[in-house]
Amino acid sequence: MSPSRISTRIRRIKPSPSSAAADRFAELRREGRDIINLAIGEPDFDTPAHIRQAGCEAIERGETRYTPVAGTLALREAIAAKLQRENGLAYSPREIIVTCGAKHALFNALSVTVEEGHEVIVPAPFWVSYPDIVLACDGTPVIVACREEDDFRLTPEALEAAITPATRWLVFNSPTNPTGTTYTGAQLRALADVLLRHPQVMVLTDDIYEHIRFDDVPPRHLLAIEPALRDRTLVVNGVSKTYAMTGWRIGYAAGPADIIAALDMLQSQSTSGVSSVSQAAAVVALNAEPTFLPEWVATYRKRRDTALRMLNAIPGIRARAPGGAFYLYPHCGGLIGKRTPEGKTLATDNDVVIHLLEAGGVMVLAGTAYGMSPYFRMSTATSVEQIEEGCRRIARAVARLS
Ligand SMILES: Cc1ncc(COP(=O)(O)O)c(C=O)c1O
């Protein structure tokens, strides 16, 4: 197809590297290669039985028709109750919209608020989709590097320096994909103080990993710390990671009524309401006690500790302990400049990742995709045996470098 048929907006963006990695993994598997996949971006647990059951029951009850565009009242009430109970945030169902995953909420939020010339601050390392979503919505991503020695945390100084009169949004994701970075109440307070000085900046919080946390710091929401930001904050979340419901496609946004109304209008002319069956399952997910969660988090923690111990024993690699989520973001600068047995010099983290795949049979994702090099992202959303074998393979592939 002629490229000119495709709009400039779409020609600006690239496919998600995580989806590309999943495709490559499937391809290598089909070729019969034995690959350990540490590029996974979703929980390896099954959706809990009571939630699956709720989906089946919704089908049997005949809940198979269109729902309101913004989502069923039952689900919006469950989301409102969750935001109050878990985050100390008061929203009415009118201020909430259900979307096809958190990604859809983010995409639509920027679609209805960003115009050419608007800047959107994206702290790096970032979740791969943020800059492309900004570009697809005609905005300009402003990437703010967050240093490893600060645990990849956005500092108030870096935030202040990035804000201009054209800044429309700050995208704030914590625990962060890919670094697992978390914030204390005092650190959030300091960021809020900067934001209070710049009333043109809206804040999009992506809370999708909120329940996967390993630190002992009580989780606080930026908006609960500074309620004065309420009129310019959009809270984005979903059930994908907490409840292992990635395929059900339920996300949501809570925020000021005008933004929610614009989101409703966009959805009414595009996707309409999200799957009725998934919504019924999400009501049960949010309203029932998540008794499975402590065990899942303990499992993620054990895997994280195993991966940290093994990676930090490999010369040329160093990894910090993430405070949450299910990824590690190890530095691989010590491998840059080394040569493979085939005589190729590793010049970038992309070369490192290709070497690990080709020589080691282990798939991780290059830091270039996450906006900070030389690093790679390794997922711990797989069994501890796979993580151990993956790390052994990384060690062997590194040992072959000279
Ligand atoms: C930071 C972040 N936000 C949002 C999403 C998307 O979530 P959903 O599956 O609900 O669209 C992901 C998925 O990987 C993510 O890592």
For the chain, how many structural domains are there in total? 2
Q: Whose CA is nearest to atom 16 of ligand 1?
A: 177
pTM for the structure as a whole: 0.96
Residue 230 lies in a domain: yes
Domain C-terminal end among 287, 313, 332: 287
Final residue in a domain of this structure, among 252, 287, 322: 287
CATH no. for residue 281?
3.40.640.10
Ligand 1 centroid – CA 65 distance (Å): 27
Distance of CA 315 from the midpoint of ligand 1 (Å): 32
Given ligand 1 and candidates 208, 209, 246, 278, which is best to mutate, with the most ligand atoms within 8 Å of its CB?
A: 208
- Atom from ligand 1 closest to the CA of residue 173: 1
Q: What tokens appear for 274 in the block?
A: 């999200």
The answer to the question of residue 181 being in a domain is yes
Q: Which atom of ligand 1 is nearest to the CA of 105?
A: 11
Query: Distance from the CA of 252 to the center of ligand 1, in angstroms?
Result: 11
Same-domain pairing of 27 and 83 = no
DSSP assignments along 118-181, one per residue: -EEEEEES--THHHHHHHHTT-EEEEEE--GGGTTPPPHHHHHHH--TTEEEEEEESSPTTT--
- pLDDT of res. 396: 97
Question: From the CA of 340, how far away is ligand 1's center (Å)?
Answer: 35
Task: Give the pLDDT score at 16.
Answer: 75
Check residue 352 and give its pLDDT. Answer: 95
Cβ-contact 113, 202 below 8 angstroms: yes
Q: Which domain holds residue 228?
A: 63-287
Q: Is the dihedral of CA 242, 145, 122, 135 positive or negative?
A: negative
Residue 55 within a domain: no
**Residue 56, domain member (yes or no):** no
- Best residue among 40, 122, 177 to mutate for probing ligand 1, ranked by most atoms within 8 Å of CB: 177
- Closest ligand 1 atom to 246 CA: 9
d(CA 270, CA 316): 49
Do residues 281 and 296 both lie within one domain? no
Q: Residue 161 domain-assigned?
A: yes
Are 272 and 333 contained in the same domain? no
Helix axes 384-399, 293-311, angle to 10 degrees: 10
Which of 287, 304, 335 corresponds to the end of one domain? 287
The pLDDT value given to residue 20: 74
- Residue 266 CA to ligand 1 center (angstroms) comes to 20
- Cα(103) to ligand 1 centroid in Å equals 6
Which pLDDT score, from 0 to 100, does residue 380 have?
97
Q: What's residue 180's pLDDT?
A: 97
pLDDT at position 1 is 53
In this prediction, residue 2 carries a pLDDT of: 61
Per-residue pLDDT tens over the stretch 151-181: 999 999 999 999 999 999 999 999 999 999 9
* pLDDT < 70 regions, the chain: 1-3
Which CATH number belongs to the domain containing residue 310 in this structure? 3.90.1150.10
Crossing angle of helices 257-268 and 102-111, rounded to 10°: 100
Atom of ligand 1 nearest to the CA of 100: 11
Alpha carbon of 186 to ligand 1 centroid (Å): 26
